[in-house]
Structure 1
Amino acid sequence: MSQTSRDRLLLGIAILLLWQLSTAWLKLLDSQLFPQPLQVLHLLFEDREVFLKSLLSSFNLLFWGCSLATLLAIPLGLIVGWNRRLRLAIEPATNVLGPIPPIVYIPYAIAILPTFTQSSVFIIFVGAFWPLFMNTVAGVESLEKGIVDSARTIGVSRKSMLIHILLPGAMPHIISGGAISLVLAFILLTAAEMIGATSGLGWYVKYFSDFADYPRVVAGIIVIGAVVLTLMTIYQRFTGYLLRWRKQ
């Protein structure tokens, strides 16, 4: 086990001990709002089937929203970043639409789109699209002009320019934007599920908070945190593999 892994393990143990100390032993916190660790652990096991169903529901929405954003944001970002005239033309619209919090679209998405699934996928798509698109454009802009000019000089086709020159060159920026998109997409997913879903991790927390069942609320929050940590770890491993050439 590496030193970093040991440090993280010790930190986790310290947090659990502090939690146990403040709730079960010294009773410093309200027992209704702050359940004991063993109580939450029991609920994690007891509601495992509900959590599994919620995970599948949440991942379905997250997959489609992020997939659509990736399929559109990266190609469009490469094209816009490469074409200076097009980039300058849409820059005002990007500066206006990009910073708008996607959560404000939730009421309209629910009202306009026929199903909750479609409205949730749309909200996740909007949230994941802009960071990925803007970072892709920035990645293309950051490329050395000499590389692009050399590719043009030797007659590289547009398709090859996009796939073999611009995409690898912009990849570090794309990966940074992807990390932001993934976190933002999960936040929006949870928010959308809290408003109108009948399943999902956000729905689980909202449903039991309405009944003041705070032990289950804490259990749901822990599961959400574990899922986010797992997703980000997998993403970092995958992107580390894609950028392995930088270490070399």
Structure 2
Amino acid sequence: MSQVSRDRLVVGIATLLLWQLSTAWLKLLDPQLFPTPAQVFSLLAEDRQVFLKSLVSSVNLLFWGYTLAVLLAVPLGLVIGWKRRLRLAIEPITNILGPIPPIVYIPYAIAILPTFTLSSVFVIFIGAFWPLFINTLSGVEALEKGIVDSARTIGVSRKSMLINILLPGAMPHIVSGGAISLVLAFILLTAAEMIGATSGLGWYVKYFSDFADYPRVVAGIIVIGAVVLTLMTLYRRFTGYLLRWRK
């Protein structure tokens, strides 16, 4: 076990001990709001089928929203970043729409689109799109002008320019934007589920909070944290493979 792993294990054990000490042993916290670790872990096992169903529902929405954002934001960012005139024309729209918090679209999307699934995918797509798109633009702009000019001089085709020159050059920026997009997409997913869903991890937390069942609320929060940690770990490994040439 590496030193980092040992340090993380120590921090985890210390956190559990502090939780146990403040709730079960010394009873420093309100037991109605702050359940003991034994209560929460018992519910994690008891509700495992509900958590599994909720996880499948949440991951399905996240997959479609995030995948659509990647498929649209990256190619658009490469093309618009490459064409300076087009980039300057699009810049005002990017500056206006990019900073708008995507969560404001949730009520509107639920009211307009025919199903909750479509409205959730749309909101996740919007939230994930802008960080990816803007970072892709920045990655193309950061490329050395001489590289692009040299490729043009030797007659590289448009397709080769985009795939073999611009995409690898902008990849570090795309990876950074993708990480931000993934976290934001999960936040929006949870928020949307808390507003209008009948399943999902966000729905689980909201449903039991309405009944003041805080042990289950804490259990749901722990599951959400574990899912986010798993997704980000997988993302870092995947992007580390994509950027292996940098090593």
Q: Shorter-chain TM-score: which interval?
A: over 0.9
- SS of equivalent residue, structure 2 residue 198: coil
Q: How far, CA to CA, are the matches of 1:131 and 1:53 in structure 2?
A: 30
Q: How far, CA to CA, are the matches of 2:108 and 2:20 in structure 1?
A: 44
Q: How far, CA to CA, are the matches of 1:106 and 1:182 in structure 2?
A: 17
Amino acid at match of 1:200: G
- Across the two proteins, how many residue pairs are aligned to each other? 247
- SS of equivalent residue, structure 2 residue 5: helix
* 1:51-90 Cα distance to aligned partner (Å, 9 max, x none): 0000000000000000100000000000010000000001
In structure 2, the residue matched to 1:38 is: 38
In structure 2, the residue matched to 1:22 is: 22
* 1:97-140 Cα distance to aligned partner (Å, 9 max, x none): 00000111111101110000000000000000000000000000
C-alpha root-mean-square deviation of aligned residues, in Å? 0.3
Q: How far, CA to CA, are the matches of 2:122 and 2:46 in structure 1?
A: 33
Amino acid at match of 2:160: S
* 1:22-63 Cα distance to aligned partner (Å, 9 max, x none): 000000000010000011000000000000000000000000
Give yes or no for the alignment of 1:124 onto 2:124.
yes
**Stretches of 4+ aligned residues off by more than 4 angstroms:** none
In structure 2, the residue matched to 1:84 is: 84
In structure 2, the residue matched to 1:137 is: 137
- Offset, 1:239: 0.6
In structure 2, the residue matched to 1:67 is: 67
Amino acid at match of 1:166: L
In structure 2, the residue matched to 1:6 is: 6
In structure 1, the residue matched to 2:190 is: 190
* 1:137-189 Cα distance to aligned partner (Å, 9 max, x none): 00000000010000000000000000000000000000000000000000000
In structure 1, the residue matched to 2:58 is: 58
- SS of equivalent residue, structure 1 residue 66: helix
Q: TM-score, normalised by structure 2?
A: 1.00
- Offset, 1:200: 0.1
In structure 2, the residue matched to 1:231 is: 231
Q: How far, CA to CA, are the matches of 1:156 and 1:90 in structure 2?
A: 26
Q: How far, CA to CA, are the matches of 1:154 and 1:38 in structure 2?
A: 68
Q: How far, CA to CA, are the matches of 1:82 and 1:216 in structure 2?
A: 50
Identity %: 87
In structure 2, the residue matched to 1:166 is: 166
In structure 2, the residue matched to 1:110 is: 110
